[in-house]
């Protein structure tokens, strides 16, 4: 998608602080961190949100979720972490390219706001 900021990050048209990358996904630091560690994990191909995924995306998304523990380990999050997906208007999704937030190095709160 030509006007999508995360697609541009995925192809390095927009620079980011990359933590992990493979052929299917990229993980980079959030520009406005909400925790000492705040990384965004995205599929390289454009999909708008969790509400837009289809059955054919399930292998890729399973791989992406599976990789999160490796990324957490790379970042030293052995004491735990939080994975967040904001979806749609009520979920307060601001960037319309599916992404998971990985937050760590502080004690989280529950319930979320
Ligand atoms: P959302 O609110 O959609 O769940 O999360 C979008 C996230 O993307 C926000 O936490 C925001 O700080 C981050 N973000 C927006 N634009 C950029 C950017 O250009 N670079 C990086 N690294 N993060 C961004
Ligand atoms: Zn995109």
* Domain layout of the chain by residue ranges: 5-104
Q: What topology is assigned to 5-104 in CATH?
A: HIT family, subunit A (3.30.428)
- Does 1 have pLDDT greater than 80? no
Ligand 1 pocket, residue 100 CB under 6 Å: no
Mean pLDDT of 19-43: 98
Ligand 1 pocket, residue 93 CB under 6 Å: yes
CB 81 within 8 A of CB 104: yes
User: Is 97 among the residues known to form the active site?
Assistant: no
Q: Hunting for tokens 């630091």 — which residue is that? A: 29
The pLDDT value recorded for residue 113 is 81
Per-residue pLDDT tens over the stretch 44-67: 999 999 999 999 999 999 999 999
Buried b (16+ CB within 10 A) or exposed e, 22-60: eeebbbbebeeeebebbbbbbbbebbbbbeeeeeeeeeb
Q: What is the pTM of this model?
A: 0.97
The pLDDT value recorded for residue 2 is 80
Structure tokens at 1: 């998608």
Strand 81-84, strand 18-21: pairing: unpaired
Ligand 1 pocket, residue 109 CB under 6 Å: no
Which ligand 1 atom is the nearest neighbour of the CA of 86?
A: 4
Per-residue pLDDT tens over the stretch 69-112: 999 999 999 999 999 999 999 999 999 999 999 999 999 999 99
The pLDDT value recorded for residue 79 is 98
- Residue 49 CA, chain-centre distance (Å), reads 11
């Amino acid at each position: 998608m030509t006007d999508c900021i995360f697609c541009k990050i995925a192809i390095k048209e927009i620079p980011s602080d990359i933590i992990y990358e493979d052929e299917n996904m990229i993980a980079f630091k959030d520009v406005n961190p909400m925790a000492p560690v705040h990384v965004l994990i995205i599929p390289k191909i454009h999909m708008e949100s969790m509400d837009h995924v289809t059955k054919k995306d399930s292998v890729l998304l399973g791989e992406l979720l599976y990789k999160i523990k490796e990324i957490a380990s790379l970042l030293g999050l052995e004491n735990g972490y939080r994975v967040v997906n904001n979806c749609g208007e009520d979920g307060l999704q601001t960037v319309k390219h599916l992404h998971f937030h990985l937050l760590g190095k502080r004690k989280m709160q529950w319930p979320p706001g």
